[in-house]
Amino acid sequence: MIKKVFLMVFTLAWLQISLAAGTEVVDRIVAVVNDEIITLVELDKMLSPYKTKIEAGAGSEKRKKEMMESLERKMLHQMIDKSLANQEAKKYHIQVTEPELDRAIENFKKQNKFTQENFEKALEAQGMTYEGYRDRIRQEILQSRLINRAVRSKVIITDIDIKAYYEEHLEEFSGIEKYELRNILMKDEKAINEVKNKLDRNADFKLLAEENSLAPNAREGGYLGIFDINNFSDAVKDELIHLKKGDHTGIIQIDQGFQILFVEEIVREGGKTLDQARDEIQKILYKEKEREKFAQWLESLKENAHVKIML
């Protein structure tokens, strides 16, 4: 009851000030969050960069209107979340000082090699002001501290979670498969066919390369090096992709003539075992569960708060 009376008095006072100033009342309250209000002017300020992009984009006026209305609702809910989080931060005496903001921004600029001028131009290109960016960083730091206080102790990552993530993302941790290759390069198609026939009967590739290849690496038995075959042309990749160690391709026509490739070895680079990937996975899962718990915590705040939307 006290909250409602306070809000009514606050709202009436706000309207009286606007009228007393002799200005047209174009602003209005679009949401009430406990004892705080969100106004149309505040919402429009948040929407402004996106509104410009939508208006400049392709599509019918009807479609643009639908996009703006959807974005307006989404942004308002984000502002409500922000208001609730800020109220909780005040309750716990959590704050972000100006020097802390300065350090965070300077660190970001240093990491990305930005001067202040270039930094502000980059923000402008994204439709954001320097003050708007400061406010966003303030909110991120505040949220991090709220997470520390409200949800971090509830986040538990088990060995079962880590193993399941590793198995679901096995390709990410298996590294890049690379092929160690040799080749024989010849100008005459008939001659290279004879060489291939010998290879098909298990002749020594290195010896045949030394005796027949026209490439500069003939002395080294046609040794080429180690390659990620995804960087090769589709024609060469298709020849290699199904081969095993010790296999050779068919005859491949190239600008310099005809060649046969030999798979000396297939190796994996950059792969990680479960134990090697454990810390990395734990951090990923921790962040995911942290966001999930924080969202749940915000929902519980909404359930116990006085939130009224008047958009």
Verify that 114 and 39 share a domain, yes or no: yes
Q: What percent of the chain has pLDDT over 90?
A: 46
Verify that 199 and 80 share a domain, yes or no: no
Q: What is the pLDDT, as a whole number, of residue 2?
A: 41
> Any residues with CB less than 8 A from the CB of 277 and at least 6 apart, and which?
166, 173
Whether 262 contacts 182, CB under 8 Å: yes
pLDDT, greater one: 145 or 186: 186
Verify that 50 and 151 share a domain, yes or no: yes
pLDDT, greater one: 194 or 148: 194
Report whether pLDDT(5) > 50: no
Verify that 149 and 13 share a domain, yes or no: yes
Tell me the range of 51-65, 151-165, 198-212 where mean pLDDT is highest.
198-212
Verify that 91 and 227 share a domain, yes or no: no
Residue 132 counted as domain residue: yes
How many Cβ atoms are within 10 Å of 143's Cβ, its own excluded?
19
Verify that 19 and 139 share a domain, yes or no: yes
Q: What is the pLDDT, as a whole number, of residue 290?
A: 86
Residue 220 counted as domain residue: yes
Query: Cα–Cα distance between 166 and 123 in angstroms, integer?
Result: 37
Report whether pLDDT(14) > 70: no
Whether 132 contacts 105, CB under 8 Å: no
Residue 127 counted as domain residue: yes
Rg of the chain taking only CA atoms, in angstroms: 32
Give 51's pLDDT tier (boundaries 50, 70, 90): confident
Residues 68, 74, 79, 82, Cα dihedral to 10°: -150
Q: What is the pLDDT of residues 121-164, one digit of tens each?
A: 888 877 778 888 898 899 889 888 888 887 777 888 999 999 99
Residue 68 counted as domain residue: yes
Q: What is the pLDDT, as a whole number, of residue 26?
A: 65
Residue 41 counted as domain residue: yes
pLDDT, greater one: 61 or 259: 259
Residue 280 counted as domain residue: no
Q: What is the pLDDT of residues 273-292, one digit of tens each?
A: 899 999 999 999 998 988 88
Range of the domain at 148: 2-155+290-309
Residue 77 counted as domain residue: yes
Q: Which amino acid is at 121?
A: K
> Any residues with CB less than 8 A from the CB of 102 and at least 6 apart, and which?
none
- Average model confidence (pLDDT) for the chain? 86
Verify that 198 and 241 share a domain, yes or no: yes
Residue 40 counted as domain residue: yes
Whether 227 contacts 178, CB under 8 Å: yes
**DSSP 8-state code for residue 248:** B
Q: What is the pLDDT, as a whole number, of residue 171?
A: 80
Verify that 19 and 151 share a domain, yes or no: yes
Indicate left, alpha or beta for 36 from its phi (over 0: left) and psi (-120 to 50: alpha): beta
CATH number, domain of 90, equals 1.10.4030.10
Q: 188-219 burial by CB neighbour count: b if 16+ within 10 A, else e?
A: eeeebeebbeebeeeeebbebbbebbebebbe
Output the CA angle 281-283-288, nearest 5 degrees.
95
Verify that 205 and 245 share a domain, yes or no: yes
Query: Cα–Cα distance between 101 and 108 in angstroms, integer?
Result: 11
Verify that 12 and 131 share a domain, yes or no: yes
Whether 180 contacts 264, CB under 8 Å: yes
CATH number, domain of 232, equals 3.10.50.40
Report whether pLDDT(77) > 50: yes
Verify that 103 and 8 share a domain, yes or no: yes
Give the total number of structural domains in the chain.
Answer: 2
CB under 8 A, 24+ apart: contacts of 138-142: 138/96, 138/101, 139/82, 139/85, 141/96, 141/100, 141/101, 141/104, 142/85, 142/86, 142/89, 142/94, 142/95, 142/96
Reading the block at residue 238, the tokens are 């298709």
Verify that 6 and 151 share a domain, yes or no: yes
